[in-house]
Structure formats: C-alpha cells, structure tokens
Structure 1
C-alpha cells in the first residue's frame, strides 16, 4: 500500500495570492538550480525542461539553471536522484505525472515512494498522447479502426513502438490492442526519438508517443497521426479524432496529463512556495508558452495542492488500466 500522509503534508501549501507574492519573493533562492530530467535529449520532456530553464534564466537572472539528464528506467533513475538530493530547493525533478501515478502499479520494487519522498512544486504544461502510422502501413489506412483491421490481416507487420516498457505509451498500445482483440507486437525504445526514426523508416507500423513528437514529421508528410488522447481533440491536430471518438482506448488516463516539478520531501513549505512562484513566472512568459505550443503542449501551472489532487486521481485511473491490460514489468 502506498503511503499518502507525507505526500499530503508536503502538498498542503497555501495557494499564492497577490498579498503573499512579496513575502514569497523574499525567500532566498539557490544560486545554482539543478533540474533533473529522466528522459533523453531529442524528446518532448527534455525539450520542455530546457525551455523552462531558459525562462527561469530570464525571470531569475541571479540563478544559474542547469538541466541534468539522468536517463534510464523510464524516468525512475531521476526520481531516485532527487529523493536523495539535499533538501534545500537546489535540486528539482522534472517529470511526466505518470512516472509517479502509474509506476507503483507497474513495478513491485520501486526504491522510492512517490507520495512520501517528493513534494509537488508546479506544473508546466498539459499534454496529450497519440498513435501515428508510418510508410509500412498503406496510405489508404487512415483511422484507428482501419489500422486495427489492417493489423489483423497482416500479423507479420502488426507492431507498435513506445518510449519504453511499462510506460504510459506502452499501456496505451496494449489497451487498444486488447480492446480490439488484435495482437500488436510491442517494440520498446529508449525514448520516443529512436522509435520515430524506425517508424518513418518503415521498421515498425505504428508508434505511440506524445502528440508533439509527431507534429513536424506529419507536416513533412513522413507519418500520419490517427488518434489522440484527451476528452476533446487537440488544437494541434483538429482534424484527428480522439481515441474515445473511435471507440478504443477511451479509458486511457489522458485528460489530466501534465509535466511538472517536484522537490525532495524535506524542502520547507516556504521554499516550495518560492520555487512555485519562480516556475509560474517562467511559464507565463510569452516566449515559453510559444515554445511549448510548438511542441504540442499547452502552458499550464497548477499549485502544489492541485498537483497532489490531480496525481491522486490519475493514480486511481491507472490502476484500472493496469488491471485490464494485466501488465507488470516483472511478469
């Protein structure tokens, strides 16, 4: 059973108001702020971390901000690194929410407790996921239902890639395949970028990845997005129907997905409030919001307590998906 008491204690900070901004800004900030990101260069998570770091360099000119990639284990290495960091606010984790809300159901031997070992700081953006087809699949196959029918007729080519085993994108493909009664061979990559390379090279039929990963390639005619997650169509692909519209993968926990910052659990509430204010100001910069949009993301900053509430809801939704798919990394 995952402990939640310490998580809620860490999350129980008051929302910043205009009357508290001055006192919050009076809190000291570290001269060196390290952002630890568990995903490789070239992917959406890394790109967002670097855009926010650039924004922080403008809004906090006295702070030296660096992005430290601790790649591996689907982001778990980065979480462990932040758990063990000094709790003075100088080290932050930047991660998709699913690394914390999903992994407790996937891995039986996590060396961290996402509810007890981390304190939520701020979200940066909301995100959606997508399935895209490459040239291995005929151009006549346009929608998700068409692709599943094609996969059933061509089992030797029926495959989908994801950024790693046990990741949300892996479960997305597995959920759709299970609902359709179609076998799709899963190909796990170390991040989305090498998977997209194989997709447009005709090595795999389909790829599951954050929607933003595909946008420039679709514009260049190298792949085609056939479905996106979320309760409504993304503004970046308005002509592409959602999974729910196509009657597959409707239970995928995608409506509240976000990327956000966390600190070690021992960081003081005052420091977390200051860090939240710093991140929120950086995200509110027009240049950062535009950079996020170019990656298929919508700038959005939740408070620490709202992050905790959202994560609890995602945690409950993921349990149902994992149960239906019947997946564990150790199985």
Structure 2
C-alpha cells in the first residue's frame, strides 16, 4: 500500500504539534515504560496493532520503552477491567475493539465495568469493514448475498454461517441478513474468524461473517468466494466485491474500529501528550503498511472524536441487538 500525500502531511502536522510543546515539560513527563494492554492473544489482529504501535511510540518524549501485555479472557473484558483498575498515570493503555465498549452493554445484563465512566479515550487506532463469504458447500452459481439467502431458503438444513464469537458484530450482521430475508439463518460461534473460515472452506459450514482482511488470502487461493463487504463504499482490500447496499440491502453499513483508552482519572495533559505520540506512531509508513496487510486502515483521532464515535455506535447497536433478541446471559 503506498503512502499518500495526505499521510505525509499528517505526519508533518503532528511533528509540528510535538515541536510546539515545551521540551522541558516533555522531558519531565517521560515514562520509563508504557504498557499497552490487549484482551486478545499474541498473533491476532488486536495484538499485531499493539505491537506495531509500541514499536513506533518508543523511545519518544513520552516514554523510553513500550511493551504489549495480553490479558485474555471473557471476550476482552479482562483487559478492560485490568486497565480500569490501573494507576491513572498514563503508563497503562488499553487497546480494544468497539464491541467491548459499544455492544457488550446491550448483551450483558451487568458488565464489570462502565465503558464511559471507567475509561478515558485517547485515540482511534484502526478502522475496518466486514465481509461475508461462502465456501464449497454453496453452489458456484450463488454470486451475491440475495442469491445466497434464496439458496438458504430453498435448503433450510444447510442455512448457516459462522462468526468469530457470539455477540460479535459479524454475528449480528449475519443475523440481520437472515431477518431481512425472513430466512432462519443458524449462527455458529467460533473462537476467532480463521477457525470459522477453515470449517467453511472444508465444507462443514456454508458461510462466514468476519473482518474483510481475514478472507483475502483464501479468496486469492480460490478456496472461498467473498459475496459482499459491509462498508459505505467498496473496500480498498476487495475492490471487486460489491457492498451490501449495492446489492439492495439499504442501511446495511457496518464497520468497526480499535481504540486506545486509559483509566478514567488520567489527567488531561497526560492524555493529550499520549494522543500526540499515538498520532505519530499511527501515521508512520511502517504502521500504515503493516496494518494494510491485515485489512486494516490505520487512523488516529482526538480524544473527543473517539468519545463521539463510541457514543454513536453504542446508540446504533442498542435497538439492533434488541431486534435480534440476543443475550450473552441466556
């Protein structure tokens, strides 16, 4: 993926911002080390983002060193709790997908954390679209989502799809597609998108809903067919794949993001300094290109912009989850 003029200007703009900050103040605030916490295991997308950012954020005026800590369990909740309870000194940062903060409040009767009250936003990290793909169980004549749903209606015993987890955005996208066409589309939850894709290309399940970057290598190898992307426009990682909206499914625009957060009581000046170095790290060519290899678009934001984005997504998914009728406590 090439670096655009906009990316160069973004790096230059952030560098100017850093230069404008008094060097003495930055030196006084420099940490010995920064811990970036993810709720997912090494080797996954979330972990890879954390490691690329940690490589670019240190050494810097903010911290001498940075490392990643994997606090797995409870679908990402353990990591959120860990950071919520960490000292509010800017030395511990949470990196999390939107789902843990924007969807979980709607599917759990009681969460062990308050997504807004216990955490303070720092910056967006990356955005991505989802894809919907089918494997060899589905006839080659099926080339789009409406045709897949029609096939499911004609073959109810085979009407199913996999997703990386129950209660995840891909799970709900598939369920909403089934409801839209009045098709009983059975959901099968996996522990990650790749295990679901392996079952799909092995002919054990019909389809998979998951991050679009997870499919590209399998599509290129001819092992599965990507029927649709969920963004407002076609994905740069699958430009020949039409969106759901292009296929007549009005309003079916869904994406997700990874964001960086600190404990709620972290001072504003620390958050602003952390935001500045995060912007530099996320704009680095190595970060941009590395994330693109995973189907992600590196993207930073102000703390206020991230807060507004979470609020919007939380409000979006509330009624959708109610429509689907899913509860993680059931």
Tell me whether the two structures share a fold, i.e. TM-score over 0.5.
yes
Which residue of structure 1 lines up, in the alignment, with residue 21 of structure 2?
A: 22
Change (3 A) 1:77 1:42: same
Long gaps (5+) in structure 1: 1-14
Change (3 A) 1:30 1:18: closer
CA distance in 1, matches of 2:73, 2:249: 30
Which residue of structure 1 lines up, in the alignment, with residue 291 of structure 2?
A: 292
CA distance in 1, matches of 2:28, 2:131: 41
CA distance in 2, matches of 1:31, 1:58: 10
Instruction: Note the alpha carbon deviations across 1:99-119, whole angstroms, 9 max, x for none.
Output: 211111111110100010000
Quick check: 1:227 aligned with 2:228? yes
Instruction: Note the alpha carbon deviations across 1:109-155, whole angstroms, 9 max, x for none.
Output: 10100010000011122211111112222222111111111112222
Change (3 A) 1:223 1:42: farther
* Partner-residue secondary structure (3-state), 1:119: strand
CA distance in 2, matches of 1:143, 1:243: 9
Quick check: 1:308 aligned with 2:307? yes
Number of aligned residue pairs: give it: 315
Which residue of structure 2 lines up, in the alignment, with residue 104 of structure 1?
A: 105
CA distance in 2, matches of 1:220, 1:204: 19
1:27 positional shift: 5.6
Which residue of structure 1 lines up, in the alignment, with residue 328 of structure 2?
A: 329
Change (3 A) 1:290 1:305: same
Which residue of structure 2 lines up, in the alignment, with residue 6 of structure 1?
A: none
* Partner-residue secondary structure (3-state), 2:29: coil
Q: 8 Å contact 1:253–1:318 — kept in the other structure?
A: no
Q: 8 Å contact 2:161–2:174 — kept in the other structure?
A: yes
Match runs of 1:182-193 below 5 Å: 182-193=183-194
Change (3 A) 1:91 1:62: closer
CA RMSD, Structure 1 to Structure 2 (Å):
2.2
1:54 positional shift: 2.3
Q: 8 Å contact 1:143–1:227 — kept in the other structure?
A: yes
Which residue of structure 1 lines up, in the alignment, with residue 318 of structure 2?
A: 319
If asked which structure has higher relative contact order (CA below 8 Å, sep 6+), I would say: 1
Which residue of structure 1 lines up, in the alignment, with residue 271 of structure 2?
A: 272
Which residue of structure 2 lines up, in the alignment, with residue 161 of structure 1?
A: 162
Q: 8 Å contact 2:62–2:273 — kept in the other structure?
A: no
Bigger shift: residues 158-167 or 37-46:
37-46
1:29 positional shift: 3.3
Long gaps (5+) in structure 2: 1-13
Change (3 A) 1:304 1:151: same
Instruction: Note the alpha carbon deviations across 1:69-112, whole angstroms, 9 max, x for none.
Output: 22232222211111111211111111112321111111111010
Instruction: Note the alpha carbon deviations across 1:53-74, whole angstroms, 9 max, x for none.
Output: 2222465796332222222322
